[in-house]
Amino acid sequence: MKAIRIHERGTTDVMKLEELKTPVPGEGEVLIKVEVAGVNYSDVGQRKGNYPNLVELPTTLGNEVGGTIVARGPNVLSPAEGTRVVSLVDGGYAEYALAPASAVIPLPDEVSFAQATMIPIQGQTAYLLLNKAGQLQKGERLLIHAASGGVGSLAIQLAKLMGVGMIIGTANSPDKLEFIRGLGVDVAINADDGDWVEQVMKATDGQGVNLVLESIGGGIGQQTIGCLALEGRMIVFGSLSDEPTAFFTQMLIGKCLTVRGYNTVVQGPEDKRRANQALLRYMAAGQLQVFVERTFPLADAALAHQAIEAGITRGKVVLTV
């Protein structure tokens, strides 16, 4: 089978299309014929070496796939061969991937493979950021940075379903701002504007926001502290800028603020199961739209990484296999 492998960390030049033996499912495993592989910033981080929980090299990149079960290991009774599924895997940029039978998510006919690839990482992240880490309450004011991305575009829609009072979204281009307005943000702000903090405060009548989903870091992360309301919460789940965020503890003490890190990988199986069920329910009912703007052939995985790093993508990015 063909797969995208790296033997060292670095630029997209380290990504190589290689021929490997098709794996055989072991005890408790299923073999998935991959139709679509999701591409995430976490994959970019694994390749560059600046992401938590780095895997050993060499490795096949990618952690989420949509496809069909074509073989089952010993003592695996379900799902049946031929079942359409989405799953987290180790090595998703490939024609075939192994997954624990207990981890695969059977898909309803209404949900495409490309749409479903958002569930294991971006979908779970958006859902648990709001429902667990951020504890979003009905009527609260929410700020989402990088709101046009995979997590951001889903978080906008989920927050609306939860009864949020106001959503402010940031993006860095006119087309992205128009995109998030279409998703339902109340106020769309260009993060490159020097007065974006003042724009947030004006939109909230000087009160600030109750919750921030922060994935940029650097100066944006530092300035965001000034947008928080009394007892506001900022959940940090990424660092797109690759720059550290620095702020004085007095900034937290003055308004009793909370800053918390979040990582979907370490969340428990019950939380993930709850997120999966809710996401599939919303998708099947047409209440949650997944926007797959960019698709790349497996062999062009490096171009997908370059597009994500350049910040020119909206919604979900996938590889077709």
Q: For 40-54, write each residue's pLDDT tens digit.
A: 988 999 999 988 778
Cβ distance 301 to 4 under 8 Å? yes
| CA–CA separation, 44 and 42 (whole Å) | 5
The secondary element (H helix, E strand) that includes residue 229 is strand 228-236
Region 69-80 average pLDDT? 95
pLDDT of 251 over the 80 cut: yes
- One DSSP character per residue, 64-113 reads EEEEEEEEE-TT---SPTT-EEEEE-S--SBSEEEEETTT-EE--TTS-H
pLDDT of 135 over the 80 cut: yes
* pLDDT category of residue 110 using cuts at 50, 70 and 90: confident
pLDDT at position 98, please?
98
Question: Could you tell me the domains of the chain?
Answer: 2-118+290-320 (3.90.180.10), 122-265 (3.40.50.720)
Cβ distance 159 to 140 under 8 Å? no
* pLDDT category of residue 313 using cuts at 50, 70 and 90: confident
Region 134-154 average pLDDT? 96
pLDDT of 140 over the 90 cut: yes
* pLDDT category of residue 265 using cuts at 50, 70 and 90: confident
pLDDT at position 244, please?
78
pTM of the model: 0.87
102-119 burial: b if 16+ Cβ within 10 Å, else e? ebbbebeeebbbbbbbbb
> How confident is the prediction for the chain on average, in pLDDT?
94
Task: Collapse the DSSP code of 160 into the 3-class scheme (helix H, G, I; strand E, B; otherwise coil) and give the result.
Answer: helix
pLDDT at position 284, please?
87
Pairing of strands 228-236, 166-171: unpaired
Would you state the torsion angle of the CA atoms of residues 134, 140, 144, 148, taken in this order, to the nearest 10 degrees? 120
pLDDT of 185 over the 90 cut: yes
User: How far is CA 143 from each of CA 178, 216, 250, 252, 264, rounded to the nearest angstrom?
Assistant: 17, 13, 22, 18, 20
Share of the chain above pLDDT 90, in %: 79
pLDDT of 143 over the 90 cut: yes
Instruction: Tell me the range of 38-42, 93-97, 273-277 where mean pLDDT is highest.
Output: 93-97
- One DSSP character per residue, 280-306 reads HHHHHTT-S---EEEEEEGGGHHHHHH
Beta partners for 211?
142, 233
pLDDT of 147 over the 90 cut: yes
